[in-house]
Amino acid sequence: MNAAVAGAMPDHSANARRGVTLEARIKAQAYGLGFDLVGLTRTGPAPTAETFDEWLRAGHAGEMHYLERGAEKRRDSRLAVDGALSAIVVAMSYGGREPSGPVARYARGADYHDVMAERLRALHACVENWVGAPIRGKAYVDTGPILERDLARRAGLGWFGKNTMLINRGIGSFFFLGVLLIEIELEVDAPFSTTHCGTCTRCLDACPTDALLERGVLDARRCISYLTIELKGAIPLELRDLIGDRLYGCDICQDVCPWNDRFARGLPDDSPYRPREALANRDARTLARELLGMTDEEFSRAFKGSPMKRAKLRGLKRNSAVVLGNVGTPEDVDALTRALDDPEPQVREHAAWALERCVTLDPADER
């Protein structure tokens, strides 16, 4: 801790004597900024780091080689920010009560990286103002070698479900995690030391591609979210029909979770995660046809500030072809035929696969 911050610490004690602690102010401000959960924990060695390393060595990360970077920081969160002593861990709901659809709920609105990072930086500024001195710190929202779930469990926010998601008894699992590492020492919350999945295996049983190998072990190479977002090449033939109408991401293992059935939250009218115009009221076939016909300029305008840009237009066109191959009808033949002239080879290949399936269907068939 730098000298300026250390010199300001007596003010914290004065606040405490008046019944207002810095920790209480941090939590109140976090809720005021729109976060749904907040907890405090120490930085330090990550208990799950070795498990994560084993997962990487097993090849379960597929092409996500970026996950291998920053291994030392991942193993010890003190190394991520020089002098960081505490982690402020927050969660923000993205609407588990919203209807299912071809795009996973988290990706329908604004990019959560930007939304949450901006709010965490605002929280950081508040702490500096209360302390009266600059404080080293950094916000992480799925953007660095930080095991956010590990910190969240240690901060008391929930347990690891059998589907690998962090689950909270009050709001389920449809939420983003963010972390503000900061150099001041805070009173920490009790870690979450129990699990509450019991004998339930709904998430494991429901995964259409059998990506959940066992409790808490996900083979990303079979996960629909990985296949439609992170995978840059061709989707394996044996998995294409299992993707169904899911164009970007997948919520199945969360949809079937009893904790979400009971406690998942809807979206307020002013939520940044409400569906953008390009996605609102679009079924899978309509959206797939629209994406197949988009130019790069149209895509940039329609999806500005969207997490869906991660897959790029070529990836979304590839996914769209797979969706039409699974749920399309002969009415979609024209869109797929035009896609045979796409400049991207993988779009052409997936369109040809889908076209062969669509031309054999009767329009009245229920698929």
330-340: per-residue pLDDT in tens? Answer: 999 999 999 99
User: Among the three residues 228, 253, 271, which one is the final residue of a domain in this structure?
Assistant: 271
Same domain, 195 and 318: no
pLDDT attached to residue 4: 39
pLDDT attached to residue 359: 75
Per-residue confidence band for 358, with pLDDT thresholds at 50, 70 and 90 = confident
Same domain, 117 and 144: yes
Same domain, 155 and 41: yes
CATH number, domain of 332, equals: 1.25.10.10
Same domain, 267 and 146: yes
Same domain, 210 and 316: no
User: Among the three residues 249, 271, 293, which one is the final residue of a domain in this structure?
Assistant: 271
Inform me whether the pLDDT recorded for 254 exceeds 50.
yes
pLDDT attached to residue 17: 44
pLDDT attached to residue 13: 45
pLDDT attached to residue 15: 52
User: Among the three residues 229, 254, 271, which one is the final residue of a domain in this structure?
Assistant: 271
Give percent of the chain above pLDDT 90: 91
What average pLDDT score do residues 96-107 get? 97
Inform me whether the pLDDT recorded for 367 exceeds 80.
no
Range of the domain at 298: 276-367
Query: So which residues are the catalytic ones?
Result: 142
Same domain, 212 and 286: no
3-state secondary structure the chain: CCHHHHHHHHHHHHHHHCCCCHHHHHHHHHHHCCCCEEEEEECCECCCHHHHHHHHHCCCCCCCHHHHCCHHHHHEHHHCCCCCCEEEEEEEECCCCCCCCCECHHHCCCCHHHHHHHHHHHHHHHHHHHHCCCCCEEEECCCCCCCHHHHHHHCCCCEECCCCCEEECCCECCEEEEEEEECCCCCCCCCCCCCCCCCCCHHHHHCCCCCEEECCEECHHHCHHHHHHHCCCCCCHHHHHHHCCCCECCCHHHHCCHHHHHHCCCCCCCCCCCCCCCCCCCCHHHHHHHHHCCCHHHHHHHCCCCHHHHHHHHHHHHHHHHHHHHHCCHHHHHHHHHHCCCCCHHHHHHHHHHHHHHCCCCCCCCC
Inform me whether the pLDDT recorded for 363 exceeds 70.
no
Give percent of the chain above pLDDT 70: 93
Same domain, 259 and 308: no
Same domain, 239 and 296: no
Same domain, 176 and 214: yes
Same domain, 48 and 180: yes
Same domain, 246 and 340: no
Count of structural domains, the chain: 2
Reported as a single tens digit per residue, the pLDDT across 134-176 is: 999 999 999 899 999 999 999 999 999 999 999 999 999 999 9
Same domain, 226 and 142: yes
Reported as a single tens digit per residue, the pLDDT across 9-54 is: 434 444 544 578 999 999 999 999 999 999 999 999 999 999 999 9
